[in-house]
Amino acid sequence: MSAKKYFSIIAVVTALFIGFLIFSPKWFNSYTITVLGNIYIFIVLAVSYNLINGVTGQFSLEPNGFVAIGAYVTAILLLSPDVKEELYMISEPLPLIRDVFLNPSVAFNPFLALIISGIVSSLIALTLAFPVFRVRGDYLAIVTLGFGFIIRIFLINNPSISNGSMGLDSIPGFASYFWIGIVSLITAILVFNIVYSKFGRAMKAVRDDEDAALAMGVHTFKTKTVAFMTSAFFEGVGGGLLASSIGSISPDQFTFMLTFQLLIIIVLGGLGSMSGAILGTFLFLGSMELLRPLDQTSWHIGFIHGIPGLRMVVFSILLLLLMLFARRGLFGNKEIWDYVKIKKKKRIEE
Amino acid sequence: MNTAFILQQIINGFSLGSMYALIAIGYTLVYGVLRLINFAHGDIMMVGTFLTFISLGILTGWKFEHISMAIFFTAVGISIILTAGVGILTHVIAYKPLLDKGAPKISILITAIGISFFLESLFNVIANQYLGGTYQAFYFPKFFSHIIHIGSLTIPVLTIITPILTILILLGLLFILYKTKIGIAIRALAFDIYTVQLMGANSNFIIGFVFALGSALAAIGGVSFAMAYPSIDPYMGMLIGLKAFAAAVVGGIGSVTGAVIGGFILGFVEVAIPGFLPELGGWKDAFAFILLIFVLLFKPTGIMGINFERQRF
């Protein structure tokens, strides 16, 4: 694909999406808009999670940890010192924590806060990469899963930094529907460019055969580390968006459940497929909303009653069925337009 | 800081460590044979405790005031058998089809996560719907909480029984692995699965046996956890399972003795650090992972030093 054609496609997609962002609040009711906003945040998370898990093939279970870091960093940066003095009930905030402040009403400051959250996340990812990528494969999963627990324990046990288990609230809500959409668009385009760059090819080489990649001169450790850091960066940004759009955060929001949902999304879309991750987010969060009655005791069809927690049983069975019978998900590790191209080719051959 | 205090900590560490050891053995057995982290192992432990709780309830008619030893051990026995069945079922339903297809390791890990989450949410629904709440108090015969006084030491009976039981189980396992026919088959399978199949051994039966053994031990470990901290919930398995996995890696994954040593080390660390430095008490749950990260940094093969890195099926 020539560069000119590529940029024109991106320009068209951007224009269409921004148009949709502007007009959709007029078309849909506020409930749909809230769900859509949530979907955009999850697109940021799913696309970046897919980068390490699907594209680089390193099975990692880190999102909840980095999302929590991003959420807390954004919240601490955007809350003013006076508000923090009031919020920190268990113990006084550390002077450093109290004094850092980016006034959210100044233009670009919220975006600066998001970027700082991303950088903090990716620096932590860097320190985590050294022990983890020394060994191959499965250890990454356990260490990153443990990392999520450590972050939670850290947040609960350091009330002077994070206000302990009470969490933070009245976080400035700069992340309106429109801006969440813009950030997710930027993330999707950036990650897409990474995946289809020289570096992205190195990542895929590491996924497909690490030994062969090493023999061909790919610096596998560096590739894995950078992929991990990039993924952590965008997860931090997504965490910041989540904090701002919900308005209050506590350590209990960032449990393994979050990671599990993202895992279902990227498996559903096809590991390693960017468009799959985006479509998977829509499908998963959409069906989460549709199946909400399953959790409510008032709902029933015949003798089947809703039971609290039934929805997650359904989704874990869904993940199992996907893995057992449709391991490639929607698009495998290809993109949606690859299928269109294959069809065209076939037609020409005929 | 007197000797009695230190001795008390050592005994408590031994007791906690033996519970981790019992669960770590299951990880190490399955990893040794299939090179697969059985993510659902912690949740199988949870299933074991819940099945014990439910069969205790059925046997006593949900009146837990006076549980006789006979009823308790019957319940534990039923639970061990059922849990072993659940372990075999997870293998047959979730892992075996993928292993047969030669699916990449990442798919099997994701399936394992799916099983783990399925068991958690299933038992959450069961507990909410039929037992009346997510958190349940776990009852057991009074004998186990009977306290023995030796000098200034106060030791519950359970604290003594669990380590002894663990050592006995370890000896039994080593006997099975090194002196019986199926043990030799298990070790051969860990070495090279295809050659063993060519030699005429029934690899499916052997792998099923490994899963059953690991799950049964997890059930015993789970029951001793439930007795030491008498509250059970459907999400208890995840954290304990992860810590036990960390213990297995510290000891050297693939080695049964290593798993027990790793379990004891983790137990000591978790008891001793909050004991001597009380201000770190809240960090108790993080020690296992910090220990794991240090082991991965400096000796990725663990204490018993089995190197699986370059060995492939």
B39 vs A contacts (CB less than 8 Å): 141
Q: Considering CB atoms only, which of B103, B239, B296 is closest to A132?
A: B296
Domain that holds residue B161: 21-235+254-259
Alpha-carbon gap: B142 to the closest alpha carbon of chain A (Å): 34
What confidence score (pLDDT) does residue A268 get?
Answer: 86
The structure tokens listed for B174 are 């080593």
Each as own residue / partner, the long-range contacts of residues A220-224 (CB below 8 Å, 24 or more positions apart, any chain) are A221/A133, A223/A56, A223/A199, A224/A56, A224/A58, A224/A129, A224/A133
**How does pLDDT run across A98-131, given as a tens digit for each residue?**
777 877 777 788 889 899 999 999 999 998 888 8
Q: Is A22 helix (H, G, I), strand (E, B) or coil?
A: helix
End-to-end CA distance of chain B: 52
Residue A1 reports pLDDT greater than 70: no
Residue B310 reports pLDDT greater than 60: no
Residue B307 reports pLDDT greater than 60: no
- Taking the Cβ of residue A213 and every Cβ of chain B, the question of whether any pair is shorter than 8 Å is answered with no
Are the beta carbons of A316 and B114 separated by less than 8 Å?
yes
What confidence score (pLDDT) does residue A25 get?
Answer: 83
Alpha-carbon gap: A11 to the closest alpha carbon of chain B (Å): 36
Average pLDDT of A205-232? 90
**How does pLDDT run across B48-71, given as a tens digit for each residue?**
999 999 999 898 888 887 788 889
Mutate one of A90, A149, A207, A265 to test the B interface: name it (highest B CB count within 10 A).
A149
For the entire predicted model, the pTM comes to: 0.87
| Cα distances (angstroms) measured from residue B233 to each of A140, A236, B136 | 27, 31, 6
Write the ipTM: 0.84
What confidence score (pLDDT) does residue B172 get?
Answer: 93
**Does B27 map to a domain?**
yes
Strand partners, B153: B150
**Does B310 map to a domain?**
no
**How does pLDDT run across B236-281, given as a tens digit for each residue?**
888 899 899 999 988 888 888 889 999 999 999 998 888 888 888 7
**Chain B interface residues facing chain A, Cβ-Cβ under 8 Å?**
36-37, 39, 94, 97-98, 103, 105-107, 109-111, 113-115, 117-118, 121-122, 124-125, 128-129, 238-239, 242, 245-246, 249, 282-283, 285-286, 288-290, 292-294, 296-297, 300, 309
B24 vs A contacts (CB less than 8 Å): none
Q: Is B131 helix (H, G, I), strand (E, B) or coil?
A: helix
Residue A255 reports pLDDT greater than 80: yes
CA nearest to A323 within chain B: B111
Amino acid at A161: I
Domain count for chain B, please give it. Answer: 1
Q: Is B38 helix (H, G, I), strand (E, B) or coil?
A: coil
Relative to beta strand B153-156, strand B147-150 is antiparallel
A312 vs B contacts (CB less than 8 Å): 117, 121, 124
Q: Considering CB atoms only, which of A137, A139, A319 is closest to B114?
A: A319
What confidence score (pLDDT) does residue A350 get?
Answer: 62
Q: Is B102 helix (H, G, I), strand (E, B) or coil?
A: coil
Average pLDDT of B171-199? 88
Kindly indicate the confidence band of residue B229, based on its pLDDT and cuts at 50, 70 and 90.
Answer: confident
Average pLDDT of B302-310? 62
CA nearest to B240 within chain A: A146
Residue B312 reports pLDDT greater than 60: no
The structure tokens listed for A34 are 């809230």
**Does B312 map to a domain?**
no
Alpha-carbon gap: B50 to the closest alpha carbon of chain A (Å): 17
What confidence score (pLDDT) does residue A236 get?
Answer: 94
What confidence score (pLDDT) does residue B103 get?
Answer: 81
Alpha-carbon gap: B94 to the closest alpha carbon of chain A (Å): 7
Half-sphere exposure of A52 (CA within 13 A, CB side): 34
Residues A72-109: b if buried by 16+ CB within 10 A, e if exposed: bbbbbbbbeeebbeebbeeeebeeebbebbbebeeeeb
Residue A35 CB contacts under 8 Å (≥ 6 apart), including other chains: A285, A286, A289
A101 vs B29, more confident = B29
What confidence score (pLDDT) does residue A331 get?
Answer: 81
- Taking the Cβ of residue A148 and every Cβ of chain B, the question of whether any pair is shorter than 8 Å is answered with no
Q: Considering CB atoms only, which of A61, A135, A150 is closest to B296?
A: A135
Amino acid at B278: P
Judged by average pLDDT, the poorest of A91-100, A271-280, B244-253 is A91-100
The structure tokens listed for A211 are 């030994």
**How does pLDDT run across A157-192, given as a tens digit for each residue?**
888 888 888 888 888 877 788 889 999 999 999 998
> How many CB pairs lie under 8 A apart between chains A and B?
117
Residue B218 reports pLDDT greater than 90: yes
**How does pLDDT run across B118-143, given as a tens digit for each residue?**
999 999 988 888 888 888 888 888 88
Decide if B176 contacts B183 (C-beta within 8 A): yes
What confidence score (pLDDT) does residue B309 get?
Answer: 45
CA A246 distance to own-chain centroid: 16
A150 vs B contacts (CB less than 8 Å): 286, 289-290
**Does B249 map to a domain?**
no
Residue B216 reports pLDDT greater than 90: yes
What DSSP letter does each residue of B135-169 carry, written as one string? -EE----GGGGPEEEETTEEEEHHHHHHHHHHHHH
Average pLDDT of B224-246? 89
Alpha-carbon gap: B296 to the closest alpha carbon of chain A (Å): 6
Alpha-carbon gap: B3 to the closest alpha carbon of chain A (Å): 30
What DSSP letter does each residue of A208-227 carry, written as one string? H-HHHHHHTT--HHHHHHHH
Kindly indicate the confidence band of residue B306, based on its pLDDT and cuts at 50, 70 and 90.
Answer: low
Are the beta carbons of B106 and A153 separated by less than 8 Å?
no
